[in-house]
Structure 1
Amino acid sequence: MFSLHEAQKREIEDVYGVPAERIRVAGTGYDRTVFREGLNPRAVDRAEVAYVGKISRKKGVESLLRCLDLLPLPKDRLAVRLVGGHSTEDDLARMRALAKEVRFPVEFAGKVDQDELVRTYQRAHVFVLPSFYEGLPLVVIEALACGCRVVVTDLPGIREWLDESVPGAPVTYVQPPRMVGVDEPAQEDLPAFEQRLARAIERSAQEALQPARCEDAPVDMARLSWNALGARMLELVAATSLQVGAAAL
């Protein structure tokens, strides 16, 4: 059996009773021929923040919108673009109403094609995923591949896998609120979570707008390509087959 990361591996053990030696961590992969840094430089006068995913409360979008006014930045120094569909019209209307109260410009781009998605990543300085539940979010990998700094909720398995797969990647982890369900946060914890989220976005935005330094080398994403993922899975299958054959003898 394959798992995305070690935390999911432990969950498979617990839920399905599968022995640990039968579970292999494969991770995920992205199309490196599509998701890569653009040729045009990013803006230097304001930070562009991007979110990609469903426009819903359980993905943390309400908290993202509420935290924006906690940022001690001039209103012309930051802009936000939200990309993705929505569950219901009521959800979208609630998010739009929240966005109107924010002093920074917030764009609801809706669903976009792949070319426009890539352009969104390439223009953004900071990619934010404030979700309350994830497996191993591919959007984080795509954003890193396109040169974004990333702010993501510190959910089980994500930090461990990224630290191993792309050490030194510009990722800031935000402690999540307590959960009262799989994807339902404790409401009384949200104000503190939004404070932490705002601090992480501010720090990442300020760093992104600093002049490039020689030590800011691009992150090596080769291990996360589709080809690398396929090779890794084939290698794991071959090694398992040899073990099974040896045991049969």
Structure 2
Amino acid sequence: MDAKRSPSRWLLREPVGDRPNRLFLFPYSGTGASIYHRWPRKTLTTEICLIQPPARERRIRDPHYGTYEELAKQVIENLLPYFDRPFGFFGHCGGALPGFATALELHRRGLPTPTCLFISSQVAPHDGPFGRYLHLDDDELREELCGFVRRLGGEPNAELIEVGLTTLKLDLEANRQYVFAGPVRLPGLLRTISWIEDVEILHNQMTGWPLYADTGRFHSTVLPGDHHEFLKAPAALLDALDDGMEQGRLAAMATRRAAIGAASR
């Protein structure tokens, strides 16, 4: 297999398959999979799989994906073998729309789709592009990156900040280009997560998402914490993810049973 197409390049670690569900995490804008270093490798029912897009961290020399649609195609091309059991996508803010785009591309191709899609701190596609970062200049983005590094417990390095700035700007441009005229329904469960102290994306700015799910398949959760609370993998978030994955798995099983029953009549 071509090294550029190797799943090991797309995942921070290889899945071991010891849980009934897999949850794939997309990184935040301008960052890579290592932002989830505080997260556990698994929950009670779900294995946590960290997606590593190109143009960052150990893939810094790989060309940027360009658009969310192109990223979705690359994710599917490389990770489809791991969608062999109930799986979900989670993304926060700039990581949420790539997860949605990938779920949509899977649906359009008639391939397995996420049993549950988790959207944290992001507006619905037809309500965007939206976000303070989209309007910051280079100096302001550098300051944001430095603050983010400190939040993770490090000290900013000027050279690495410049590398991160290049990636962040390309990620933000992908966000700007992702424009929807209206909602598109996905077959699985859709769960939004907002944060009480989040000043970047407010809970009432995420009200467009129910239009992307069938009746009874949407759920909204508000958790304590600010915009970056997700980095800590708080117990309340992990519980919400575990619950969504199990509910999604059970809903998918029920749908399959109904289809088999209808076909046998």
Larger Rg computed on CA atoms: 1
TM-based fold match above 0.5:
no
TM interval, shorter chain, is: 0.3 to 0.5
Q: Structure 1-normalised TM-score?
A: 0.41
